[in-house]
């Protein structure tokens, strides 16, 4: 979990220090595009899903879609979210939910991480695809490449849709994050 938090915090710091990290910065004329009107829009993470799971879903909705998980844990996080974090683990999929109580059924999904091709995005992008498959599927959205060479579609809450790749530029992990602290 700390690895994920560190990535979120680093992403937040990157955006706070360098707001030009948001957008189409792989374009050599980025500054002029930033100041002009772009035809691309910011991501609405509420419309994105991974393995038919969406942000904000409750435990009962997850179980309807995926069945019971391999494991479920709930712990209090007083560092970042000051909430209870429930983690549901499936083979190749990890889902985290936040709640003000330690009752997992009241948690709402705030992060999804897939490492298996069994869990594609709503646009059909899955683990093992080339990164340009994701770029084509989400071509209408603003994107950036972060310092770890992840393809990021950021939202305004330091969350977003993140595609991590291997050296062959194939997708090895897909994360959907509502917000980072």
Q: What is the pLDDT of residues 66-115, one digit of tens each?
A: 999 999 999 999 888 889 999 999 999 999 999 999 999 999 999 999 99
All domains of the chain in start order, with CATH: 1-181 (2.60.460)
Mean pLDDT for the chain overall: 85
Secondary structure of 112-152 in HEC code, one letter for each residue: EEECCCCCCECCCCCCCCEHHHHHHHCCCECCEECCCCCEE
DSSP 5: H
- Which of the two residues, 49 and 18, has the higher pLDDT score? 49
Phi/psi for 172 (5° steps) reads: -110, -20
Do 97 and 59 meet the contact criterion of CB atoms below 8 Å apart? yes
What sign does the CA torsion over 13, 161, 163, 33 have?
negative
Q: In this predicted model, what pLDDT tens digit does every residue of 29-69 receive, in sequence order?
A: 343 344 445 689 999 999 999 999 999 999 999 999 999 99
């Amino acid at each position: 979990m700390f690895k994920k938090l560190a990535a979120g915090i680093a992403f937040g710091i990157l955006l706070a220090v360098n707001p030009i990290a948001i957008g189409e910065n792989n374009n050599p004329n980025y500054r002029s595009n930033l100041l002009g009107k772009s035809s691309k829009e910011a991501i609405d993470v509420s419309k994105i899903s991974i393995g038919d799971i969406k942000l904000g879903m409750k435990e009962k909705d997850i179980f309807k879609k995926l069945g019971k998980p391999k494991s479920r844990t709930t712990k209090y996080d007083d560092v970042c979210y000051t909430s209870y974090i429930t983690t549901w683990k499936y083979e190749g999929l990890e889902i985290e939910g936040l709640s003000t109580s330690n009752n997992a059924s009241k948690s709402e999904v705030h992060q999804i991480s897939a490492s298996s091709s069994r869990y594609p995005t709503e646009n059909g992008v899955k683990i093992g695809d080339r990164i340009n498959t994701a770029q084509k599927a989400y071509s209408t959205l603003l994107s950036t490449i972060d310092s770890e060479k992840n393809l990021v579609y950021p939202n305004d809450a330091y969350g977003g849709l993140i595609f991590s790749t291997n050296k062959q530029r194939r997708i090895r992990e897909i994360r959907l994050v509502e917000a980072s602290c």
